[in-house]
Amino acid sequence: MGGTGRETRFDALRLAKQAGTLSGTIDARALPQVADGLAPGPGAVPIVWTVAGAASVDGRPALSISVSGRMPLVCQRCLAPFDWVVDQNTELVLAADERELAALDERIEAEVIAADRPIDAAELVEAELVLSLPYAPRHEGACPS
Ligand SMILES: [Zn+2]
């Protein structure tokens, strides 16, 4: 698995039941919702991702998603680019369909997604990156002069 697009689609409920793992590397510049937030540059921005089938604490089918890499962002203080380290791990509980999703969303705190159709790992990774991106990226500590 790897790259972008259709080849990253999978059956989430089956992956959870089998406790299977998918992984790959994706270029963050190829993800439309992420690319806009990156510092401009010619190079690819490889993000390593893993999607593991699991069970939630209350025994529901779930996915454990991890993304890691270094994303070039523009510091909002000095406007220089810097590498921002992503190392994010998130659990998503799987609902059988939209109706169960609505019911679970009210009852449990974890994030829930509907698994009644194949899920695209690239879209999961994109959503994780969007959520983890800082609202106002800045150098940690003082900016280099
Ligand atoms: Zn700075």
Domain extent listing, the chain: 6-132
What distance in Å separates the CA atoms of residue 18 and residue 22, rounded to the nearest whole number? 12
Looking at the DSSP bridge assignments, the partners of residue 48 are: 25, 68
Tokens of 90: 């998130």
Q: Is 36 exposed, middle or buried (0-12, 13-18, 19+ CB in 10 A)?
A: exposed
CA of 48 to the centre of ligand 1 (A): 26
Condensed to tens digits (0 to 9), the pLDDT of residues 19-66 reads 999 999 999 999 999 999 999 998 999 999 999 999 998 899 999 999
Kindly give the distance from the C-alpha atom of residue 129 to the centroid of ligand 1, in angstroms, as a whole number.
21
- How far apart are the CA of 145 and the centre of ligand 1, in A? 9
Q: What is the pTM of this model?
A: 0.88
